[in-house]
Chains A and B, each alone.
Chain A
Amino acid sequence: MKLRSGALGGLAAIVALVLTGIVYNLLPVRGSDHQDSPTTVARPGADITDVFVYPAASPSNVVLQMDVDPLLAPGGPTTTAALDPQVLYQFKIAHGAPGVEDTVIQFLPTGAGTGQSINVYGPFKPTTTGTTNTVGTPVGSVPFNATGGVTLSNGLKVFIGPRSDPFFFDLFAFFKFLPDRNYKTPGTSAPAGTPFSFNFTPTEIAANPAFASCLVGTPTDALSSNHFNVLSIVVEAPRSLIAPSTGSSKINVWATTSTTTGS
């Protein structure tokens, strides 16, 4: 457990563990997109927390990453979590018309639990776009949590398994002025007089006149500092597999999860 102040030592470690328990058990939270609807709260394996698109170590490659299954506490919850075998996971990539996918990469687990494998489909042009989809022709299959990744015949390198949640957010402050956004208190407004402010230290406020009316408090990252984990679907692909074949090299990406029942 990394601490910003080594002098605090074991006490801080104990406090951090206790805080983790409090956060996990008493105040389920949403961050970037963690626990953002009743549907995804009921089916955490389909709950997409974040989508990332970034250059790979090799300049000719690009990485697409989707994180799901939020707030996995270290230990048991992390070591037993696996993708939901009823869920189709998709990256959708638009080259032309905004919001209309030209290319998809799909993942469909076979089997429940950490012994599962995940079939990979694409990238390919889907026969239908929008919110009802079918799977394509499988490219290959990867075992869950193959740490070094699996390279498929089309050049995709895939890892699917538990990873550290890199998202960071002072959602304790956020929920004070927007309590509706906590799924446990939907429809709730902040009490009258609640300052719309994140937390600032007296030193920061003194140093910047613009912060004069801001809330005095301790800024806290509720997610990464508590060592929550997620399940990551990480795909490294040759850019040529993802980029449009002609014209602009811009891509627009989103991720979806789907079930055969819509629930």
Chain B
Amino acid sequence: MRQALISFAAIYALGIGVVSCGSSSTTTPPVITPSGSFIQIERLARPAVKELFQAFANHDGTNRISPAQQPLSGQTLYQEIGSFTTNVAGRDAAHAATLQAILIPDEVSADLSQPGTGSYLGVETGGATAADKDTFGGRTLADNVIDISLGAVFGNTLSALGLIPDDGKESPCLTTQNVPQQNAADNVTTTFPYVGAPH
């Protein structure tokens, strides 16, 4: 595959006329635009949704569809969110239905009118996922997305938000991964490009 890639790249680079340029400057657009269609092979928005809910064998199918593929309830991931939540996590049907409604279609939501610092699921939960009640939402580099997700699936996050009654079926041993971000200072910076230099 690598050989094929290199051959393709060589031909492609010659055809398009690569414009090389220095950093930190406005550059001249290439003059030739490639034609033809590209077919989606991978898709991602919210972290760890496929990984938690969906059997590995079904990931490829999810990666290849639009997040809006209709009916939403026909998406394999939608169905597996339901079955995992009730059969593996042991929650009630209302809990499963609420997770399905939040997580499908799979997108990261952000409110660009908000001045906050960002917090995973901040828009969907009205700011409940951050101590400062941030409603910009999105997802920051430092967010503990695993703990936030575990709280929604195995903990009482949804009932605490008033979305559903508490079904009393929390799994405390699965409500936190119990590890903080390591080397946080290496991973997050205050200036562009904001994510830390490679090790």
Interface residue from B36, B107, B191 paired with A252 (Cβ < 8 Å): B107
Query: Inside 8 A of B64's CB, which chain A residues have their CB?
Result: 131, 262
Whether, in the assembled complex, A260 has its beta carbon less than 8 Å from a beta carbon of chain B, the answer is yes
Please tell me the size bucket of the interface on A.
35 or more
Give the CA-CA distance A31 to B197 in the complex, in Å.
Answer: 20
Query: Inside 8 A of A163's CB, which chain B residues have their CB?
Result: 193, 195-198
- CB pair A219–B42 under 8 Å, yes or no, is no
Question: Please, which residue of chain B has its CB at the minimum distance from the CB of A134?
Answer: B37
- CB pair B177–A151 under 8 Å, yes or no, is no
Query: Inside 8 A of B25's CB, which chain A residues have their CB?
Result: 150-151
Interface centre among B52, B63, B185 (most CB of A within 10 A): B63
Whether, in the assembled complex, A38 has its beta carbon less than 8 Å from a beta carbon of chain B, the answer is yes
Interface residue from A136, A214, A220, A236 paired with B179 (Cβ < 8 Å): A220
- CB pair B30–A138 under 8 Å, yes or no, is yes
Give the CA-CA distance A248 to B116 in the complex, in Å.
Answer: 17
Interface residue from A59, A152, A180, A221 paired with B55 (Cβ < 8 Å): A180
Query: Inside 8 A of B176's CB, which chain A residues have their CB?
Result: 198
- CB pair A149–B192 under 8 Å, yes or no, is yes
- CB pair A149–B183 under 8 Å, yes or no, is no
Q: A-facing mask of B118-154, CB < 8 A → 1, else 0?
A: 1000010000000000001111111011100000000
Q: B-facing mask of A183-207, CB < 8 A → 1, else 0?
A: 1001100000001111110001000
Whether, in the assembled complex, A72 has its beta carbon less than 8 Å from a beta carbon of chain B, the answer is yes
B26 to chain A, nearest CB (A): 5
Q: DSSP majority for the B interface?
A: loop
Whether, in the assembled complex, A24 has its beta carbon less than 8 Å from a beta carbon of chain B, the answer is no
Give the CA-CA distance A98 to B192 in the complex, in Å.
Answer: 30
Contact of A215 with B173 at beta-carbon distance under 8 Å, contacts A2-B183, A74-B198, A135-B33 already known = yes
- CB pair B112–A243 under 8 Å, yes or no, is yes
Which residues 48-76 in A have Cβ within 8 Å of B in the complex? 48-57, 59, 62-63, 65-66, 72, 74
Question: Please, which residue of chain A has its CB at the minimum distance from the CB of B170?
Answer: A210
A192 to chain B, nearest CB (A): 15
Interface residue from A152, A215, A258 paired with B39 (Cβ < 8 Å): A258
Query: Inside 8 A of B8's CB, which chain A residues have their CB?
Result: 85-86
Give the CA-CA distance A139 to B139 in the complex, in Å.
Answer: 27
Query: Inside 8 A of A149's CB, which chain B residues have their CB?
Result: 23-24, 192-193
Interface residue from A94, A140, A166 paired with B29 (Cβ < 8 Å): A140
- CB pair B28–A53 under 8 Å, yes or no, is no
Whether, in the assembled complex, A5 has its beta carbon less than 8 Å from a beta carbon of chain B, the answer is no
Contact of A199 with B178 at beta-carbon distance under 8 Å, contacts A32-B48, A163-B196 already known = yes
A208 to chain B, nearest CB (A): 8
- CB pair A236–B192 under 8 Å, yes or no, is yes
Whether, in the assembled complex, A142 has its beta carbon less than 8 Å from a beta carbon of chain B, the answer is yes
Whether, in the assembled complex, B68 has its beta carbon less than 8 Å from a beta carbon of chain A, the answer is yes
Q: A141-B29, A143-B23, A168-B144 are in contact. List 15 more A-B contacts (CB 8 A).
A: A2-B182, A30-B51, A38-B60, A39-B63, A53-B139, A54-B138, A54-B141, A65-B194, A98-B67, A147-B23, A220-B179, A252-B45, A254-B67, A259-B38, A260-B37
> What are 19 pairs between A and B in contact, CB < 8 Å?
A2-B185, A31-B48, A39-B63, A55-B138, A57-B191, A100-B68, A116-B9, A141-B27, A166-B142, A169-B177, A170-B179, A197-B173, A219-B178, A236-B192, A243-B113, A251-B111, A254-B45, A254-B106, A255-B44
